[in-house]
Structure 1
Amino acid sequence: MVIPLISNHARDLGASPTMAGFIGSVYGCIQLFSSPVVGRWSDVSGRKYCLLWSLFFSACGYMSLGFSTSLIALFLTRIPLGFFKHSQSICKSLLADMFPTDKQSAVHGHFNSVSSIGFILGPVVSGHIVEMAGGFYSVTLLCGAIFMLNGVLVWCCFPDIKSKSHDLARDESSTSLQKLGSDEFNFTPKQLFQFKSLNWSAFWDLFLVRFCLGIALLLFRSNFSLMLREKFELSPLGLGYIISYSGVISALCGLLSGHISKHYHNDQRLYKHLAILMTLTMFFFVFTSTFWWYVLLLIPLSFASMNLRVVGTSILISRGGKQEIGALIGLSQSVMSIARMLAPLLSGILLEISPSGPPLIGAGMAALAVLIIGVKWGIRGEQNGPKQE
């Protein structure tokens, strides 16, 4: 509901496209540092406990967003969301704890499909509300209320499954355990910053590819609403329908992720082909000046981006195993946070030059990712990517 409105709200407060992009970068900049720490926190303190705090502070952040009547206030309200909005990454860690490796693609595909329903309903709902008096304020309050409702559902319904890292941290803790609720215990700050046990050589190439593909997509989507507004004079309601349409495609693709992965029998090869599809689609966006061609090209872009997230998560889990999966997913989110930090600002600068600037540079970054995959994963014809040491 809120994401499509932030850049337009910044413009209404007097921001230039570059300034709107800078404000959008604040969230990604903070998540660069908070993602691995919160992931590690969920490892040592429990997924449910960490998720409850994440939802509570996210609700407060979104509610305060509605009171931003200046660019400085808008900037400041993005800070708590950058620190605490990690609900999806914590849920992914919980799913990794609950299901075996061979089911990860299907499980995360269904998870992302359900998440995409929010991108189907949210923009349409907010598009109608925002056109009323005080619409942006009403949307942010509604969003905060939904986060509070999610917190109640987590408290009542979620299992409290402990990861291997939770048990390890509990066993190694030199202090007495103090129960919080039923199973939580006190953790030390030192435990939150222990990442030395991770085998970095097994993940660097995957993180780099994820960054290139992430910034390629975010260059296009971070100021997507401004791009459509500047190029086609689309209203907020029309933009809401376009984003919902993209969400429908993503949801359907997520339901098929498990079947596609089984058909390929090789996640690395599937990942490469999806990256090539994204590269070609971004290039087509550069030369498209017709609104309905934009709408049509969103189909392969949504298909590629959804399945890249699912397959990328599956590869990450298969390489790292389930130990410290929260920290590992958090570090992967940090890589994406770098992209989220850079993309809105760079996209805003490119938009001031040409509406075709973001998809052009995005296509180049996606092509670079394809090159890295071909060199690192394809040179030896490995079936499962680079072997762990």
Structure 2
Amino acid sequence: MLRYRSIYALYLIAFIDLFAVSLFLPLLSKEIRDLGGDPFLIGVIGSVYGAVQLFSSPIVGWGSDKHGSKIILFICLLSTAVGYALQGYASNLGMLLIARSIAGCFKHTQTIGKSIITELAPQEKSHVLANFNAFGSMGFIVGPTIGAHLVELEGGFRSVCLLASAAFLANILILVLLVTTKRKIKAWPSKGKDSDDLMGKNAYCGLGTIFSWPKSGADTSTLKYSVTGILFLRFVFSSSTIIPRANLPLTLESKFGTGVVSVGYLNSMQAVISTITGLTVGPVVSRLYQNDSERMVKHAGFVKAISLLALVVAPTFRLAGLSLLLQSGADPFLRVGITSMSLDGHDDFGTILGLGQSATSLSRMLAPFIAGVAQTYLSDQDGPAIIGFTAALLGLIWSYFVGMRRGFWRWGTRKVHSDINNGSMGINGGDHQPLINDIKKGVINHNHHQL
């Protein structure tokens, strides 16, 4: 009973979280301009949030694994509430920059929430993660409309930011009163003590060991995918979503003469489609894909690439809108599938999800710059969409042919060969001894793509 109460409370937290963000996010560029910012400064301040998250996400994820997800989420919610209140009272660009930096440092509700919900339902992670994402998308349906009405009042932007801050304080109450975490804080090895744990004694030293090959004798049977491969996959698919949307209103206006109202309705329809498909991900992955997240990612990636290609060649706004709606339908399957793959075989949920958020933050930080360069040197109307299609195609090729499994990496292969020669293969020796013997005899090619 407590488990289900916590899960539904986290769904509510996800809804309020993105509702609060969507209240002011569409209005932020206008506020920067009103404070005297030019297009360059709008891009810089817009990129600060992603840049700060790039470094803070792994540390917050590591902290949630070491000190407990609930206390770290509490600190993040409280600090974000302070940041958004400061953002509302910003009277100059410097103060606004500080407020956005605070938000970027501590706004990790989605990452830590996914970590907690995965701990509570590890056998149903695809289903609960899909619902978590869907409830967050619901917030984006209603938030922009309410924010647009409030900003027309006197001191409107301040009111919107204070409402967002109050929403995060409400999330603190929900967290404290309704959420109970399941997983115990793990015991960290003392100095000099050998451990097969994936983490070390501090954030970045610990993160470094995640990318390395496990020690000889360690059981790697549960580690299905390379963390590096998954991070790259997340980065390219995130880029395929964020880059085309970076300057989407200007692109649609330039290509089709579309007004702000039409773009607003399109954004709401995208959020609706994302919510509906998000709620279906759980049943689809369990019944149609038999919990095979890798196959689902491949299929969703194919749909994503086709929809971006359609956006590039669309001759009318209606067809462009249909391609964007198709992307919104594919994105929940990609997010849940990649997240599920990244967690397979790991129990450091917070750290892994924090690393994933860093990959997304990197693409979010680079997106405004890449979109601007694409519009300047590639195509004023279709440049960002072309880059997005290229990124989606690269992600599709990566998932199909390059693979994310640990043995595909050259540096890992050298370690495997060393273990084979030393007779200490770092996998279940009994199950793989015939393969090891064949490699020693030269029956199987030592090329790392075949290992």
Q: How far does the alpha carbon of each residue in 1:302-356 deviate from its partner, in whole angstroms, 9 at most, with x for none?
A: 01111100111111111x32x2111111111111111111012222343456132
* Conserved? CA contact 2:120–2:181, under 8 Å: no
* Conserved? CA contact 2:88–2:158, under 8 Å: yes
Q: Shift of residue 378 of structure 1?
A: 9.9
Q: Shift of residue 240 of structure 1?
A: 4.1
Q: Shift of residue 226 of structure 1?
A: 4.4
Match of 2:202 among 188, 191, 214: 191
Give the AA of the match of 1:57: S
1:86 lines up with 2:98 in the alignment: no
The 1-side partners of 2:387 and 2:31 are apart by: 26
- Runs (4 or more) in structure 1 with deviation over 6 Å come to none
Q: How far does the alpha carbon of each residue in 1:204-235 deviate from its partner, in whole angstroms, 9 at most, with x for none?
A: 11111111111111102233344456654533
Match of 1:222 among 209, 226, 246: 246
The 1-side partners of 2:24 and 2:89 are apart by: 14
1:39 lines up with 2:61 in the alignment: yes
2:395 is matched with: 369
Match of 1:324 among 339, 348, 351: 348
The 2-side partners of 1:14 and 1:233 are apart by: 27
Q: Shift of residue 241 of structure 1?
A: 3.4
1:66 lines up with 2:66 in the alignment: no
Q: Shift of residue 190 of structure 1?
A: 4.4
The 2-side partners of 1:42 and 1:358 are apart by: 36
Match of 1:144 among 152, 159, 165: 165
TM-score (norm 1): 0.85
Q: Shift of residue 284 of structure 1?
A: 1.5
Structure 1 vs Structure 2: percent identity of aligned residues?
34
Q: Shift of residue 244 of structure 1?
A: 2.2
Give the AA of the match of 2:236: C
* Conserved? CA contact 1:59–1:144, under 8 Å: yes
Q: Which runs of 5+ in 1 are unaligned?
A: 175-188, 383-387
User: Could you say if the C-alpha distance between residues 13 and 347 of structure 1 is closer, same or farther in structure 2, counting changes exceeding 3 Å?
Assistant: farther
Give the AA of the match of 2:127: A
1:253 lines up with 2:264 in the alignment: no
Q: Shift of residue 13 of structure 1?
A: 4.0
* 3-state SS of 1:167 partner: coil
The 1-side partners of 2:171 and 2:326 are apart by: 32
Match of 1:304 among 330, 337, 341: 330
* 3-state SS of 1:131 partner: coil
TM-score (norm 2): 0.74
* Conserved? CA contact 1:122–1:244, under 8 Å: no
2:121 is matched with: 99
1:313 lines up with 2:328 in the alignment: no
User: Could you say if the C-alpha distance between residues 144 and 22 of structure 1 is closer, same or farther in structure 2, counting changes exceeding 3 Å?
Assistant: same
The 2-side partners of 1:234 and 1:73 are apart by: 32
User: Could you say if the C-alpha distance between residues 342 and 367 of structure 1 is closer, same or farther in structure 2, counting changes exceeding 3 Å?
Assistant: same
Q: How many residues align?
A: 360
* Conserved? CA contact 1:41–1:50, under 8 Å: yes
2:297 is matched with: 271
Give the AA of the match of 1:347: A
The 2-side partners of 1:226 and 1:147 are apart by: 32
Give the AA of the match of 1:274: A
User: Could you say if the C-alpha distance between residues 136 and 348 of structure 1 is closer, same or farther in structure 2, counting changes exceeding 3 Å?
Assistant: farther
* Conserved? CA contact 1:10–1:20, under 8 Å: yes
User: Could you say if the C-alpha distance between residues 12 and 345 of structure 1 is closer, same or farther in structure 2, counting changes exceeding 3 Å?
Assistant: farther
Q: Shift of residue 144 of structure 1?
A: 0.9
* Conserved? CA contact 1:18–1:345, under 8 Å: no
The 2-side partners of 1:25 and 1:77 are apart by: 13
How big is the alpha-carbon RMSD for the aligned residues of Structure 1 and Structure 2? 2.6
Match of 1:167 among 180, 186, 202: 186
2:98 is matched with: 76
The 2-side partners of 1:192 and 1:90 are apart by: 16
User: Could you say if the C-alpha distance between residues 354 and 275 of structure 1 is closer, same or farther in structure 2, counting changes exceeding 3 Å?
Assistant: same
Q: How far does the alpha carbon of each residue in 1:268-305 deviate from its partner, in whole angstroms, 9 at most, with x for none?
A: 12111111111111122122353333332222110111
Highest CA radius of gyration, 1 or 2?
A: 2
Q: Which runs of 5+ in 2 are unaligned?
A: 1-22, 192-199, 214-225, 409-425, 428-451
